[in-house]
Chains A and B, each alone.
Chain A
């Protein structure tokens, strides 16, 4: 038995619910920190930014599942739905903090969404996530069939929108958001069919 098979065998025995449970905690923890001074003297922005970064990190983990399997044969695919739903949860919390704690003023919220490109981009990314979250259940997978796979390819533009949103909101060209953008671009590039021709390990193209 190869190492990958051993690891996959062990992973198969793990339950999935602890991922939801543990994954649900960070926003609650940040909220507690925000209430008790643990997020510094401006806790609103800090709370908002931590949630956004957490969402991007989970999204990167989601995108890494397939290249990881192609490269090492280790498969985390059983956990990917949980990871995707946690991404949605973090970004929804990020949006809620922006709406209710940060901007607060209804008229300004709409003005910002329409007038500020980085907010427009972030908002589009969030809206695109909604159908993915809604169809993250076995019934939808069965009912939609091949269309489900197509629909869930939306995660690629969503990831790019998220990273671009991050790059644009900082003053000047800063290293940290550019690293996130580069990481996401790399994970997407690893899916380009052209790589198969140069011998990159990839599953055969699926029918339908």
Chain B
């Protein structure tokens, strides 16, 4: 199955308006839209994408600090070139893959997804990236593999938040293999046709649009195929509040706040909340993955 529509962010927002709205857009933009293969997929009614400024100035990336503005302030120090990804575990061709080798032969598409944070806010983001499935097929998944584990880079000299023990570093996340192989599951390499900013998880970050944002692990340095459910950072920190699945679900509240509604970032001081959709609106595509599962227990 293949999700394609003719819609791109440029259709939703005229380029002039988008440039105009963001004074921070500087010269080296290189809006290489021509080089981006294929139009995008957009499942739910998403509305207008958030501005480049929204997406790059309001981030949760605790390795750079717990404030929303900390990643934009400190992530510039992160070295993303050279970059390598260790791919190991139950794969046919394990190894330490250079970024160029990871990207080789990958079809970089544009995907407009809504990102729903577990903190009850959301943004609409025009990602560029490739399907994780393509990378997993490239390295060859052994038949015994059932899960995929991911790990974020952890360099104290470049990431000041690592001195604070909010989480057990490095940040780790995981997916069931069928979730990882789902065509919606993306490895993002850019947004708005530009290189992925460091605060958004450069150079490679996972995007799983039907799960809360913290599942979409940033700045990936390791991918491991396993036969056991891998540990995940927020689940280790507080299992009662953050489950392994963490599918967006308006009926299962976070113990400390409701998940029934969300605030769309960018609406200003008087912005209204909107109802949160099951699976963040991607239920038609992904509900079958969880057929027969009690999602109140497997939150």
User: Is B273 in contact with chain A by the CB < 8 A criterion?
Assistant: yes
User: Is B266 in contact with chain A by the CB < 8 A criterion?
Assistant: yes
Which chain B positions have C-beta within 8 A of A174?
A: 66, 164, 166
User: Are B258 and A112 interface neighbours, CB within 8 A?
Assistant: yes
Which chain B positions have C-beta within 8 A of A170?
A: 66
CA distance A172 to B169 in the complex (A): 13
> Which of B5-13, B51-59, B76-84 is the interface stretch?
B51-59
Which chain B positions have C-beta within 8 A of A35?
A: 268-269
Which chain A positions have C-beta within 8 A of B268?
A: 34-35, 43
User: Is A21 in contact with chain B by the CB < 8 A criterion?
Assistant: no
The answer to whether residues A41 and B273 also contact, given A111-B258, A116-B257 and a CB cut-off of 8 A, is no
From residue B168, how far is it (CB to closest CB) to chain A in Å?
A: 10
User: Is B299 in contact with chain A by the CB < 8 A criterion?
Assistant: no
CA distance A31 to B269 in the complex (A): 9
**Number of chain B residues whose Cβ lies closer than 8 Å to a Cβ of chain A:** 34
B contacts with A: majority SS: loop
From residue A185, how far is it (CB to closest CB) to chain B in Å?
A: 21
Q: How does the 8 Å CB contact mask read for B228-263 relative to A, with 1 for contact and 0 for none?
A: 000000100110000000000000010111101101
User: Are B167 and A104 interface neighbours, CB within 8 A?
Assistant: no
A contacts with B: majority SS: helix
User: Are A40 and B66 interface neighbours, CB within 8 A?
Assistant: no
Contact count A vs B, C-beta below 8 Å: 66
User: Are B257 and A34 interface neighbours, CB within 8 A?
Assistant: no
Closest A residue, CB atoms, query B54:
A41
CA distance A108 to B275 in the complex (A): 12
User: Are B265 and A168 interface neighbours, CB within 8 A?
Assistant: no
From residue A53, how far is it (CB to closest CB) to chain B in Å?
A: 12
From residue B246, how far is it (CB to closest CB) to chain A in Å?
A: 13
The answer to whether residues A108 and B260 also contact, given A41-B53, A41-B265, A101-B269 and a CB cut-off of 8 A, is yes
From residue A197, how far is it (CB to closest CB) to chain B in Å?
A: 37
Q: State the A residues within 8 Å of B (CB).
A: 31, 34-35, 39-44, 47, 101, 104-105, 108, 111-112, 115-118, 168-176
Could you show 27 A-B contacts with beta carbons less than 8 Å apart? A34-B268, A34-B269, A35-B269, A40-B57, A40-B68, A41-B50, A41-B53, A41-B57, A42-B58, A42-B68, A42-B263, A43-B269, A44-B263, A44-B269, A44-B271, A104-B273, A105-B261, A108-B260, A108-B261, A116-B256, A116-B257, A118-B256, A168-B256, A171-B234, A172-B238, A173-B166, A174-B166
